[in-house]
Amino acid sequence: MKCFTKYVFLFFLSLMIISCSNHVEKRDDSKQTSFSFSGKYVENVSINYLLYLPKDYSEKEKYPLMLFLHGAGERGNNLELVKKHGPPKLIEQGKDFPFVIISPQCPSDVRWNTKTLIALIDEIVENYKIDKNRIYVTGLSMGGNGTWRLATEIADRLAAIIPICGWGDPFDICSIGNLPVWAFHGEKDVVVQSSSSQILIDRLKFCKGNAKLTIYPEAGHDSWTATYDNDEIYSWLLNHSRNKR
C-alpha cells in the first residue's frame, strides 16, 4: 500500500517532516522559510498536507505537479480525512501516478485560502524536482470552487485545471484566458447544481477560452469518483503544458 509523507507546513518556523516513504529525499528540518506574494505583501501561513512522489522520482530530472483540493467534509486537522476521495484515496489503494501530488487539508469552518495555496505551490516548486510548465490543479465541491478561484489568480502559472462539482464567479472567470479547463458535474446534484459549472463554461467559451464540461446524467453530488477513476483525465492533463498554450 502506498504511503504519504505527512508535513506540518510552517512559514517563518522550522519545517518538520515525518517521512513514511522510502523514495522521499532527505530534507533539512531546520530550514527557515518565508515567502513574498507577488512582491506586494508577506504573511505567515500554515497548512498540513500530504505529499506523493512517483516511484521513479529519483530517476528523472523533473516531474509534473498536481495540487488536489478536497471538499468541505474533509476539513480539520486529521490528514487521514484527505484520503477519503480523489487521488489520495487512489494512492492509498496502491495506484501509481506520474505526478508529484500535494493534497493539503483546509482548516475547519473556512474555505480554501488561495494565498496559502500559492505559497504551498512555491514551497514544493522550490524544494522538489518540478516542471514549472506542468502545474495542474483539481478539486471537488469546495475544492472545485478553490480550483476555479486559484485559476483566476495564477492562470499564467498553470498548465490545466479539472474542477469537479464546483462553482465560481462568472464575472471574473474570463481572467483565466486560454487556460485549458475540463469541468465535471452530476446532473442530479442538489448540493451544488450543475448549472454552477455550466455558467462558468459558457462564459469561458464566450470569452474565447479553452473549456469543456462533462455532465453525468445520473450522478448526484458525487461526480468525483467516476472522474478520478478515469485515467483519461490524467492523460488529458499531461497533454497540456504552460509553455505550449
The pairing of strands 160-164 and 5-10 is unpaired
pLDDT (tens digit, 9 = 90+) per residue, 156-181?
999 999 999 999 999 999 999 999 99
Residue 44: per-residue pLDDT = 72
What value does the mean pLDDT take over residues 80-107? Answer: 96
The b/e string for 31-56 (b: 16+ C-beta within 10 A; e otherwise) is eebebebeeeeeeebebbbbbbbbee
**Confidence class for position 48, pLDDT limits 50, 70, 90:** very high
User: Is 50 exceeded by the pLDDT of residue 34?
Assistant: no
Q: Distance between CA 167 and CA 175 in Å, rounded? A: 15
Flag whether pLDDT at 57 surpasses 70: yes
Q: How far apart are CA 242 and CA 136, in angstroms?
A: 10
Q: Quote the pLDDT of residue 81.
A: 96
Query: pLDDT band at 239, cuts 50/70/90?
Result: very high
pLDDT above 50 (res 41): no
Per DSSP, the residues of 140-196 read ETHHHHHHHHHHHHHGGG-SEEEEES----TTTGGGGTT--EEEEEETT-SSS-THH
Give the residue ranges of DSSP H helices in 83-141. Answer: 86-92, 114-127
Judge whether residue 204 has pLDDT over 50: yes
Domain locations in the chain as residue ranges: 50-244
pLDDT at 46: 84
pLDDT bucket at 3, cuts 50 / 70 / 90: low
Q: What is the mean pLDDT of residues 93-112?
A: 96
Query: What's the CATH number for 50-244?
Result: 3.40.50.1820
Contact present, 82 and 88 (Cβ < 8 Å): yes
Mean local confidence (pLDDT), 109-136: 95
pLDDT digits (tens, 9 = 90+) for 60-89: 999 999 999 999 999 999 999 999 999 999
How far apart are the C-alpha atoms of 140 and 87, rounded to whole Å? Answer: 11
- pTM for the complete prediction? 0.85
pLDDT digit string, tens, across residues 135-148: 999 999 999 999 99
With cut-offs at 50, 70 and 90, classify the pLDDT of residue 25: very low
Mean pLDDT, rounded, for 227-233: 98
